[in-house]
Amino acid sequence: MAQKIAQLSLIVKDYDEAIRFYADKLGFQLVEDTKMAGDKRWVRIAPPGNGECTLLLAKANNEQQLAAVGNQTGGRVFLFLYTDDFWNDYNKMVQNKIHFVRLPKEEEYGLVAVFEDIYGNLWDFIQAHPQQETK
């Protein structure tokens, strides 16, 4: 039996502002934006070149969900974005005014920096050493 994680929900305040951030600033692809009942939408995004996992942008619809926007992991790094061209992508992100809370650093597993998204969720941005790459 084979299993994989294909999608993660990311709670957002507003669909369109989240799409603008992820598509325009991070260069993610809008995979799907389907209107559903009421003001609900099924919005999926993914980094370029990714065919395995998407993020489902889920608009907060109550106080508990709204309180979790930007803090889905209690202040810890939430998501891990891997790249095969760290400096090129990093420089684009800096030009697009992505806020890095930890500058690039060489670690045992690769080159890493930490940035925050539009809502404050923390992301590790990583170029893994070849022997450390995830499959």
- Domains, in order of start, for the chain: 1-68 (3.10.180.10), 70-130 (3.10.180.10)
Cα separation, 95 vs 85, in Å, equals 16
Q: What is the pLDDT of residues 9-58, one digit of tens each?
A: 999 999 999 999 999 999 999 999 999 998 999 999 999 986 689 999 99
Token output for 51: 């065919």
Q: What is the pLDDT of residue 45?
A: 97
Q: What is the pLDDT of residues 48-101, one digit of tens each?
A: 986 689 999 999 999 999 999 999 999 999 999 999 999 999 999 999 999 999
pTM: 0.90
Largest CA distance in the chain: 48
